Structure 1
Amino acid sequence: MSEQMPLVVVGVDGSEHGDAALRTALREAARLGGRLEVVSAWERRGLTLAEYLDLPLGEEGELQAELDRRARAQVDRVMATEPDHGVDVQVRAHAGHPTEVLLEAARDADLLVVGHRGRGAFRSVALGSVGLGCVLHAPCPVLVVPVPTTPPAAATAGGATARTARA
């Protein structure tokens, strides 16, 4: 646990699950009066061929800068849909296995937030491997966030989401 302002760490990966986790983490950081560290982890062997081919071919520093830019773009896109919570937000992309990177980032955190699933090959698994690894090994409480079944704009003032009946 941090001795200063409470620290919430959230893992993002460009997926809608990462977006949902980020929204929740932002609100939790505001509720706690804390700060938010957004972590995007990557490793070359975990990238799809399309993702790998889309990366810069230059030096490692260029690759790091591009991955930092992508993580920041995801944060900016999600935060544009949120009210200003007054939370200090830091964004970092780290090389390494996502579970290990998130566990290291959460070492001094008060809360770790992850999406229910990521962008991996086994999207139908009940809980993604990164989320499971974080739940089993994190040094702080872990909040696993599912993707909402309705868009955030459909939420009512009481916090419940509107649901439509299906025939």
Structure 2
Amino acid sequence: MEDASHRIIAGVSGSLGSLHALRRAVVEARLRDSVVWSVITWVPQGGEAANRRMPCPDLLRLWRDAAAQRLCTAWLEALGGIPNDLEVNLVVLRGTPGPRLVQLADREHDMLVVGAGTSGALRRLVKGSVSRYCLSRAQCPVLTVPPTLAQRRLEHHPLARRRIVRDLARHDAGRP
């Protein structure tokens, strides 16, 4: 590796868009001879305010472990596992994705890679857009990876998405 300070930081949630972004982060890391930092974030169920009122260390540990498992599953789903030819760090952070990713990507030679998402205006209004947050606040280059054509089609056709999920469930159960 050229320099450990050259990091490709990939925001991962487990969504189709984040899996696509993770694959792109691997391509960028190979091109730039960089280390991949795959990052997933989590917040306590009910939010931080609810946790402050009734903290439960056992539940916090469960939520953190579940996030770590989602991160490992994302590598399996995106690439069949972690590539042997790259240095990869798996990072689980507590907090909301946008601020935590921007906070982590604080070096001059970092590159932040996030999925652009396909959610509609209402969802962005309620939940916000991680990619927009990162683009407007990061001090390093940000690569937003647009959704694939298949992902865009699935997002806008909920019946097709349900049919695919149903067919996959049947296939997993051994039924035609």
Tell me the TM-score normalized by structure 2.
0.67
Q: Deviations over 1:58-79 (max 9, x none)?
A: 4322321221111111112212
Match of 1:59, SS state, is helix
Larger radius of gyration: 2
1:124 to 120, 127, 131: 120
Identity, in percent, stands at: 26
Structure richer in helix, relative to its length? 2
Deviation at 1:149, TM superposition (A): 1.2
The separation in 2 between residues aligned to 1:44 and 1:117, in whole angstroms, is 23
Deviation at 1:95, TM superposition (A): 1.1
Question: Equivalent residue for 2:79?
Answer: 79
Q: Is 1:60 matched with 2:56? A: no
Q: Which amino acid aligns with 1:8?
A: I
Q: Which amino acid aligns with 2:93?
A: H
Question: Equivalent residue for 1:101?
Answer: 100
Question: Equivalent residue for 2:89?
Answer: 90
The separation in 2 between residues aligned to 1:70 and 1:107, in whole angstroms, is 25
Name the CA shift for 1:4/1:90 in 2 (closer, same or farther; >3 Å). closer
CA contact (8 A) 1:26 1:36 kept: yes
Alpha carbon RMSD of aligned pairs, Å? 2.9
CA contact (8 A) 1:27 1:85 kept: no
Deviation at 1:142, TM superposition (A): 0.2
The separation in 2 between residues aligned to 1:102 and 1:46, in whole angstroms, is 21
Q: Where do 1:117-156 residues align within 5 Å?
A: 117=117, 123-125=119-121, 129-149=129-149
The separation in 2 between residues aligned to 1:100 and 1:36, in whole angstroms, is 19
CA contact (8 A) 1:43 1:95 kept: yes
Tell me the TM-score normalized by structure 1.
0.70
Q: Which amino acid aligns with 2:120?
A: S
Q: Which runs of 5+ in 2 are unaligned?
A: 48-56, 152-176
Q: Which runs of 5+ in 1 are unaligned?
A: 48-56, 152-167
CA contact (8 A) 2:42 2:64 kept: no
The separation in 1 between residues aligned to 2:145 and 2:21, in whole angstroms, is 5
The separation in 2 between residues aligned to 1:46 and 1:38, in whole angstroms, is 25
Deviation at 1:46, TM superposition (A): 7.8
Question: Equivalent residue for 2:167?
Answer: none
Name the CA shift for 1:32/1:46 in 2 (closer, same or farther; >3 Å). farther
